Chains A and B, each alone.
Chain A
Amino acid sequence: MGEGQGVVIVPALYAQVGEAVSFIFQRQPSVSGGTEIGGLGEIGSLTANHLAISFAAVAIGAAIAMPLGLYLGHVGKGEFAAVGVSNVGRAVPVLALLAFFIAYTGIGFQTVILVLILLAIPPILTNSYVGVRQVERDAVDAARGMGLSEAQIVRQVEFPMALPIIFGALRLSTINVVATATIAPLANFRTLGTPIIEPQTYGIPGQVGAAIVIAVLALALYALLGALQTALTPKGLKLAAAQAAGARGLPSFLRRRPQAT
């Protein structure tokens, strides 16, 4: 980069960020005139929409994927479905998925949430399956020997031991879904993506302003879910993980990771 270029870019950068920040905090006329845009009121309602549809999608996705993954893991079947399909599923562009379902369920809330649920399912399914599979067989056998029924084994032994891995997937799904809810306005559902998708109304400051809010939102959720994960992990598992990690000199979050097969 030449020196002259750098001199031009830096003030331009400050100006852009300044306009973006003012878009977040102050109501102002839209690019094409006529309506008012921006300000904390609009950003707040867009954020509320964004979060509501994201949480709903992750909750429904978890309600479907977790029992299925736990069951498949418990009986040890369906690894291809639980792990392989999920991995290739990552490559399906969400944009294509959204467009495809618009053809069937029309534009609006129902199509957006359907796509977000489909996006939330694979990591949760994979990790529920992997989480149960990596529970030591000795622990399961001991539980069986103590007279626990199969359902009790899943609920009281396998699920708690798989919880940290499953929670990791919930965190990943939430991050992915929140990122993807940005394209919801293409199906006519207003989220923080609206200023990004409609620059003809919101202009570049609106785009950059919304991008800042989305990035902050994602990072905050990531931190929050991380704290929740630590709080929810059973004490015994934390101890075991710390010991295992200590033996190899790795931090605990690297010790248990799902891997593509």
Chain B
Amino acid sequence: MSALSLLAQVPGLNKERKSSGCVQDNGFCPGWIVENFDQYVEPFVEHVVLTVIALSIGFAIAFALALFAHRQRWLVGPIGAGTNLLYTIPSIAAFLLLLPLTGRGNLTALVVLVAYSLTFMFTNTVTGLANVPREVTDSARGQGLTENQMLWKVEVPLAVPEIFAGLRIAATTTVGLVALAFYAGAGGLGAEILTDLYFKSNVVVAGGLCVLLAAALDLVFLFSQRLLTPWARARAS
């Protein structure tokens, strides 16, 4: 069923519910949830895929822009302002405005999601690189490292905590935004929420899965950060 036809109907009336007491009373029904859980699996997978692809592309672009701006300082202001501006355009409006250009579907959703994630990751990466202490870069240069070696062996590793902080903000934001991606004709848990908007069990399961996904991604990033910065652990112990 396309998202447009979903929208055209009155929300909350399109699903047939079993006539058990709890469901009729619009309660939180564990029995109904267990019985109907398979209907959430596919939207959940779509949600994960959209989030991961958007974050990967967004990170690649933001990281490349940040490295470039790190060398060409004067670009930090304009690029930063540009990514902020992209974030300012409300997502639902952006989905609808892109439809004539990119059509209904995942492509439109991804363009918007990527554009939204840039600001957090660009800003944090640039700030992280700029916050590397002068003494450290001076001593690295004194030891004869080239600019490239210094970037990859000294500056980027030391900026990892800030880069990951940006990634984590981008990840949770993206998970939340994907829930509106049905306006672009893409999948995800948002359409599930809307199909039965006034049924508490449905909303709690679909919304809860979004929060779980965000929490899981957050843990993955925290764990990766620990793996990538062994010196931080050594200093702590």
Q: Which residues of A pack against B, CB within 8 Å?
A: 9, 12-13, 16-17, 87-88, 90-97, 99-100, 102-103, 175, 178-179, 182-183, 186, 193, 196-197, 199-200, 207-208, 210-212, 214-215, 218-219, 222, 248-251, 253-255, 257, 259-261
Contacts and interface: CB of A to CB of B under 8 A. Distances in A.
Task: Label chain A's interface by main secondary structure.
Answer: helix
B169 A100 contact: no
A259 B161 CA distance: 10
B65 to A, nearest CB: 13
Contact of A91 (B100, B172, B197): B172
Contacts of B173: 90-91
B85 interface: yes
A259 to B, nearest CB: 4
B196 to A, nearest CB: 9
Contacts of B180: 93-95
Nearest to A183: B92
A96 B210 contact: yes
B162 A259 contact: yes
Contact of B169 (A90, A99, A175, A218): A90
A250 B8 CA distance: 49
A88 B193 contact: no
A218 B94 CA distance: 12
From A9, A13, A88, A250, residue with most partner B Cβ within 10 Å: A250
Interface string B91-125: 11110110111000000000000000000000110
A9 B130 CA distance: 44
A193 B218 CA distance: 32
Contacts of A207: 96
Contact of A254 (B87, B123, B194): B123
Given A87-B169, A87-B218, A219-B89, 16 more contacts: A17-B100, A90-B169, A91-B175, A91-B176, A91-B211, A95-B193, A179-B91, A182-B93, A211-B92, A214-B92, A222-B88, A250-B127, A254-B126, A254-B127, A257-B124, A257-B127
A208 B96 CA distance: 6
Contact of A197 (B7, B76, B94): B7
Given A13-B100, A91-B172, A99-B203, A250 B126 contact: yes
Interface in B159-180: 162, 165-166, 168-169, 172-173, 175-176, 179-180
Given A93-B210, A97-B207, A211-B96, A199 B4 contact: yes
A219 B213 CA distance: 31
B153 to A, nearest CB: 21
A99 B215 CA distance: 21
A83 to B, nearest CB: 11
Contacts of B77: 251
Contacts of A196: 92, 96, 183
Contacts of A210: 93
A251 B80 contact: yes
A219 B214 contact: no
A35 B204 CA distance: 37
21 contacts: A87-B168, A87-B172, A88-B214, A88-B218, A90-B173, A91-B176, A91-B211, A91-B214, A93-B207, A94-B176, A95-B207, A96-B179, A102-B197, A182-B92, A186-B197, A208-B99, A222-B85, A248-B131, A259-B165, A259-B169, A261-B165
Contacts of A94: 176, 179-180
A119 B45 CA distance: 26
A248 B213 CA distance: 38
Contacts of B93: 179, 182, 210-212, 214-215, 218
B48 interface: no
Contacts of B8: 199-200
B89 to A, nearest CB: 5
Q: Output the residue of A17, A88, A259 with the most chain B CB within 10 A.
A: A259
A87 B88 CA distance: 19
Contacts of B197: 95, 99, 102, 186
Contacts of A87: 168-169, 172, 218
Contact of A257 (B85, B123, B183, B207): B123
